[in-house]
Amino acid sequence: MEKSSKNLHLKYLPLLFIFFSQLTFAQCIATNEQCAPVDEWEFSLTVGAGMLTNPLHGGNNIPLLLIPTISYYGENIFFENNALGYSFYETNAFTLSAISLINRENSFFSLWHPNNVFVPSIANGSALSPSGDDESSHLDTPAPEIDVDDVANRKWALDAGLQGNWFISEQSHLVMRILHDVNDTYNGFNGKIEFSHHFTGFGMPNTQWKITTGINWLSQQQVDFYYGIGENDTKNKSHYYQGKSAVNPYIKIHSNYKLNDDWRLTFTARSEILGAAISDSPLVKDKVIKTIFLGVVYDY
Amino acid sequence: MTIRIFSLLLLVVSILVVPKCFSSNTPNNNVELSLTPLACFVKTIGDVCHLTIKVNWQSLTPINACLYQDFKKIHCWSDTKKAAKKIKVSLSENMVFSLQDGNDKIYTQQHVAIAASTSKKYRRRLRADWSLF
């Protein structure tokens, strides 16, 4: 029964590809900002002010001051920021790629995670205090909670898997991704489905807006590895916590105001609601991860 | 017995129908089509090329024929043995021009290629933002 069901899915896979391949629209051209030149490296550097909140007890909010972006698109291979991929099926409307990227969860446990390359040297200075980490709130809270500094170090994970990009129209884009860690860290999956829509509007010339919404899904293994509490972390059994799979919905708004050919003003605000399986962990104090950033970008 | 009759019927149908299926898509050698130019140069791949194409075709017998750009009908002739015409077309990718009758039978076809004068190509960004965003 299971086998026939699997065969049924495989049977419809080529049809799915044909469906996507028929949804063609304008090809990539130089003036389309959703397109990248093939065989060229692109760099940009963003300077500004912003913050990514850390949902963990005792976790430092991550300041966003300097954000480098780097990308390279070959005929099939691509490298963009912390992701490396190979597109093995590509039409104007749909791309299927093998992709590998650094898992973000350890960012909240370790400030010097590879994801946090944009944290400048002042980031570990005394100016940064753990957000919401005042002693009185600890004393007033009867629920078991544990500080990130009081648990064992989590390892960073490298994930790999498949990503499908469906370019629904020139403005709309759907990303579907399923990954598994490849460095024997949490031994589980994670995935996401993300829809984004570009538009110009609000009566502001030279301004592009992008609204993104999606869900991050984390398998039980991943939630348990990062947010579970066991005897490796503490001897206090009241803190023990077994993670379950979680779904985190998120929404993001991003805008770019073009100042000239090299400079643009950028703004990002993002909010991600943690699934109950994560927010119930004694490690977690905030149910929402918020990001806000305003800066200027220089495109090299 | 029923199976044997069915198999025989299937064989007869195959013999009668299959060659016809193939012939409907196979260019007919009795019709010759010539297009000039056979390539169009654009600045970068993806740019639209506008060109006037010279169409010449001839057939041994008078035919009804239509010229198609991919699946789009662009000009028709009726009961004609020989024709020459200049037609304005636009294309942004390699294209097949075919001479067909009214019943999807392809008499003959020609390819017109797009070539870029600069080698720069573009592809869609796959939007791998930093994991934190």
Shortest distance between the Cα of A33 and any Cα of chain B, in A, equals: 9
> B116 CB near a chain A CB, below 8 Å?
no
Are the C-beta atoms of B128 and A82 separated by less than 8 Å? yes
CA A251/CA B5 separation, integer angstroms: 65
Which pLDDT band holds residue A26 (cuts at 50, 70, 90)?
Answer: low
Closest CB to A30: pick one of B44, B92, B133: B44
Q: B16: Cβ–Cβ under 8 A, 6 or more apart, which residues?
A: none
Average pLDDT over residues A186-206: 88
Q: What is the pLDDT of residue A112?
A: 53
Q: Which residues of chain B have pLDDT under 50?
A: 13-14, 16-26
> A252 CB near a chain B CB, below 8 Å?
yes
| Beta strands A77-80 and A263-273, pairing class | unpaired
> B120 CB near a chain A CB, below 8 Å?
yes
Q: What would the pLDDT profile of B28-44 be if each residue is shown by its tens digit?
A: 558 899 999 888 888 77
> B92 CB near a chain A CB, below 8 Å?
yes
Residue with the bigger pLDDT between A235 and A276: it is A276
> A36 CB near a chain B CB, below 8 Å?
yes
> B133 CB near a chain A CB, below 8 Å?
yes
Closest CA to A285 of A113, A147, A155: A147
Closest CA to A292 of A250, A249, A252, A248: A252
Residue with the bigger pLDDT between A19 and B64: it is B64
User: Which residues 80-139 on chain A approach chain B with CB closer than 8 angstroms?
Assistant: 80-83, 85, 87, 90, 92, 95, 97, 99, 101-104, 107, 115-116, 118
Secondary structure of chain A as H, E, C letters: CHHHHHHHHHHHHHHHHHHHHHCCCCCCCCCCCCEEEECEEEEEEEEEEEEECCCECCCCCEEEEEEEEEEEECCCEEEECCEEEEEEEECCCEEEEEEEEECCHHHHCCCCCHHHCCCCHHHHCCCCCCCCCCHHHHHHCCCCCCCHHHCCCCCCCEEEEEEEEECCCCCEEEEEEEEEECCCCCCCEEEEEEEEEEECCCCCCCEEEEEEEEEEEECHHHHHHHHCECCCCCCCHHHCECCCCEEEEEEEEEEEEECCCCEEEEEEEEEEECCHHHHCCCCECCCEEEEEEEEEEEEC
ipTM of this predicted complex? Answer: 0.72
Are the C-beta atoms of A299 and A36 separated by less than 8 Å? no
Of the residues A23, A27, A250, the best mutation for testing chain B's interface (the one with the most B CB atoms within 10 Å of its CB) is A27
Percent of chain A with pLDDT over 90: 53
Q: What would the pLDDT profile of A240-263 be if each residue is shown by its tens digit?
A: 999 999 999 999 999 999 888 889
Q: What is the pLDDT of residue B118?
A: 66
3-state secondary structure of B99: strand
Task: At B117, give phi and psi (nearest 5°).
Answer: -75, -25
Q: What is the pLDDT of residue B101?
A: 86
Q: With an 8 Å Cβ cutoff, are A107 and B125 in contact?
A: no
Q: With an 8 Å Cβ cutoff, are B125 and A36 in contact?
A: yes
pTM over 0.90: no
The number of C-beta contacts closer than 8 angstroms across A and B is 98
Closest CB to A30: pick one of B122, B124, B129: B122
